[in-house]
Amino acid sequence: MEFTEFVKLFKYIIIYTIAFSYFQIVKDYEGEKQNTFNFIFSLSVILFIISLQQYFNVFNLNEIYIKSVAPTQFETLIDNYPNPRPVGMVGNPNELGYLFVIISLLTLYILLKGKFRYIYLLYFGLNVLGVFLTLSRSSLVALLVGITVLIFLMVFKNYLILNLYKFKRLIMLFTISIIILVITILFTDFQEKILWRFGALLEISNDNSWNARVDHWSENLKLLKDNVLLGVGPLSRAELKYAADNEWLLLLRSYGVIGTIYFIMLFFVPHINSYKTEYRALILSILLSASVYMLPVAVFNSLVIMPFVLIILSINDKPVKKLIVKI
């Protein structure tokens, strides 16, 4: 087995414990939660500016620092490469794309829940545009799933009764988004430069990248077939010809059906049974969007995405109550 798996798990436990403890000891919980969100939004603007600079290679800065940030993506961001994919300071365009997805869901949550402020609409627009700039199709699908879930859970009270106030807010956001999209398509080359890649989702069976991933699954599917219930454990990459290219398949191969079910319950059950607040809707939208994103890429095994998700999850957690059993 790989010792790094235990090290990674230890890091996650430390990150979650620190974040959870912090939100338990603050005097003004709601105020600190909003301050945390505002800090995240401010950082996302900086991240978007960096991504924009990388996309257009402003002042040819990419040649100076990109190689140290993303050695495998270096060539796609220099010499006027036709389809650049920004990596931010993350190093991977797919991971960067999903970070923008999470922050987009955070801003949409604020827009639907709190007092309408145009600054949050700007944050939402920049992060959605950030998803498009990365050309990450998995992130776009995850974004659409997350937005759909969040809107349904927040706009429909008890999942059936329509909340008119939030519905009106949603109609306004939808109208503004459509207007911006139409103007962008009509007066920019956005469609030729970026939308072409997402259009390939409609013919995914003919996509070379997707077909390569499917081919890589065969090795892992064979291991899963021989060890369905408990899996084979965390194998070293040196023992495999291909990467899993599907985190659900990786989990199934490593820990079997039993371990994967436990993994799902570990994240979903605490928040399904959590306080009856709208923040639960945000958590579930992020978890479900992550579930979709994990089909071709990784969340749990990403040392960039997972710590961020853990911090957001910790905000919705609550102290464990002592249970005394008398015999």
Give the 3-state DSSP-derived string for 201-226, with helices as H, strands as E and coil as C. Answer: HHHHHHCHHHHHHHHHHHHHHHHHHH
In contact, 193 and 134? CB cutoff 8 Å: no
CA–chain centroid gap for 150, Å, is 14
DSSP state letter for 90: T
pLDDT of residue 155: 80
Q: Which residues contact 183 (CB under 8 A, 6 or more apart)?
A: none
Mean pLDDT of 256-283: 82
Predicted confidence (pLDDT) at residue 221 exceeds the cutoff of 80: yes
pLDDT of residue 139: 92
Residue 220: CB atoms within 10 Å: 22
pLDDT of residue 323: 55
In contact, 99 and 57? CB cutoff 8 Å: no
Residue 47's nearest CA partner among 82, 84, 98 is 98
Distance, first Cα to last Cα, the chain: 41
CA–CA gap between residue 279 and residue 151 (Å, rounded): 12
Q: Model pTM? A: 0.87
**For the chain, how many residues are written?**
327
Q: What percent of the chain has pLDDT over 70?
A: 81
Predicted confidence (pLDDT) at residue 158 exceeds the cutoff of 60: no
Distances (CA, A) of 308 to 12, 15, 71, 174: 10, 9, 23, 28
